Structure 1
Amino acid sequence: EFEDRLEGAGVYYVRVDEKELEELKNNPKLVEEVMNEKISERLRTWLDLLTSRVDTRSVTTIVMPGNDDELFIDDIIRGYEDKGIIYPLDKVLEIEGHEVISSPYVNPTPWKTPREMDEKNLEKHLENLVSKLRNTSSSIFNFHPPPFNTHIDLAPKLTRDLRPMVVAGQVQYEHVGSKAVRKIIEKYQPLIGMHGHIHESGGMDKIGRTIIINPGSEYSEGVLRGFIVEVDREKLVNYWRIEG
């Protein structure tokens, strides 16, 4: 029961005896190996669940890593391509006539996660992706970080020891999204921007004519959030924020 609660909160766990616990305490490399093994195991469990519940031959199913994800998981996702899962990086996909480009990279964070770029290099990376499009105004930008200075990029302001800053009992927030992503959206005005990364800022906003969305997350509470986005070949028809 306890392990089920941990798994529901997104935690990785392993059973050990006292001897194994001491070995882990004294061997960071072993801890890393165990973590990577548990990450791989969890991802395969999710992908097996997905492919057992969804007809991925008739339903376009895209699985993309985020900035926290170690680079080795990309090969795991690619390993499910023969079951219909699409790994979207470094390619242009199409949904209902709309071109889709995807990027997992984010502007620098205090945690130095595996997929980060400074804003200058991130802008170059995104420009390279956009250059592959035929029609930018009809395209979908699936970029992990939200644009800077929007309703969907607010996160707690941190102290030097990475704790949320609290003033008069209230957590202080600041904009932490990507300036490069904002610049690219302002420049090309895609149909919609689909983002994540900032778990505290679920919602929507608008940059020019482009709708931008971030489902947010409360995974530690066992709550799954998302958006249903409806498009036809001409336009963005509708979008709904959902949770369960």
Structure 2
Amino acid sequence: MKILAFTDPHGNEQIIREVIKLAKLKKPDLIICPGDLTIFEKNLSEILEKLNKIKIPLLVIPGNHEEAGDMKKICDKFENIIYLHRGIFEINDYVFFGYGGDGFSSENKEFEKVAKSVEKRIKGKKVVLITHQPPYGNKLDNLEYFDHVGNKSYRKFIEKNKPMLALSGHLHENFGAMDKIGKTIIINPGPLGKLIKI
């Protein structure tokens, strides 16, 4: 399966055009955005309408610039946009689990509750975790003057459930960063996108 992942374009029209161009050229099976499509939801409907026209499923979660309920209402209007916050999406042998929002906490008890309810449904499957904030303790969450600022709840989930891939964004300083937690590949694809084969 081929995935085009991009994050944190913050409503930049040129970046959205580049992502659309890349999607048309590379023809991925899925497009994934781990949040912050916009700056506080400005032009969210218009951006999603453009991405919907590609006719490739787009899995999206809110970042810290989108309100979950508002984003869901807008996503539900589009055939090819799949709102993944607090949910899963299954295709072939793969399960995608998304949890968005936040970005600034060291732990997330609400995520832990949702993850617990999802764990039985994903056991033994090829799992991709999609969060806005990166997991704790790796190249994706390491900031020069603050050390690690990722989320420990996401890391615990990765260590316990061993997804094959974890995608996140949020930290602009680490766009393009890749690392591993155990055997799980973790990537911040950045706004211009990264093609990933799983």
- What TM-score do you get using the length of structure 1 for normalisation? 0.58
1:121, distance to aligned residue in structure 2 (A): 3.6
Per-residue deviation, 1:88: 1.8
Partner of 1:228: 195
Q: 1:25-174 alignment to 2 at 5 Å? A: 42-52=43-53, 54-55=54-55, 59-71=56-68, 72-80=70-78, 83-106=79-102, 109=104, 118-136=107-125, 138-155=126-143, 172-174=145-147
User: What is the total number of aligned residue pairs between the two structures?
Assistant: 163
Distance 1:179 1:40 in 2: 27
Q: Is the 8 A contact 1:206 1:212 kept in 2?
A: yes
Cα deviation code 1:81-133 (max 9, x no counterpart): xx3222223432123421111100446x2xxxxxx794334323322232332
Q: Which residue of 2 aligns with 1:29?
A: none
Alpha-carbon shift at residue 39 of structure 1 (Å): 5.4
Structure 2 counterpart of 1:199, from 152, 160, 172: 172
1:210 CA drift (Å): 0.7
Name structure 2 gaps, 5 residues minimum.
Answer: 1-10, 16-38
Q: Contact 2:107/2:152 (CA < 8 Å) preserved in 1?
A: no
Which residue identity is paired with 1:226? G
Q: Compare CA radii of gyration and give the structure with the larger one.
A: 1
Q: 1:212 aligns with which of 186, 193, 196?
A: 186
Note the 1:177-196 alignment, pairs <5 A.
177-196=150-169
CA distance in 1, matches of 2:180, 2:41: 37
1:226, distance to aligned residue in structure 2 (A)? 1.9
Q: What percent of counterpart residues are identical?
A: 29
Name the SS of the counterpart of 1:200 in structure 2: helix
Counterpart residue identity of residue 74, structure 1: K
Q: Give me the whole-angstrom Cα distance separating, in 1, the residues matched to 2:106 and 2:72.
A: 18
Which residue identity does 1:78 align to in structure 2?
D
Asked if the contact 2:106/2:149 (under 8 Å) is kept, the reply is no
**Cα RMSD between the aligned structures?**
2.7
> Highest relative contact order (Cα 8 Å, sep 6+), 1 or 2?
2
Change (3 A) 1:205 1:45: same
Task: Determine if contact 1:105/1:122 at 8 Å carries over to the other structure.
Answer: no
Secondary structure of 1:225's counterpart equals coil
Query: Could you tell me how far 1:197 is from its partner in structure 2?
Result: 1.7
1: distance between equivalents of 2:59 and 2:155?
24
The verdict on how the C-alpha distance between 1:67 and 1:135 changes in structure 2, with shifts beyond 3 A counting, is: farther
Could you state the TM-score of these two structures normalised by the residue count of structure 2? 0.70
Shift of 1:214: 0.7
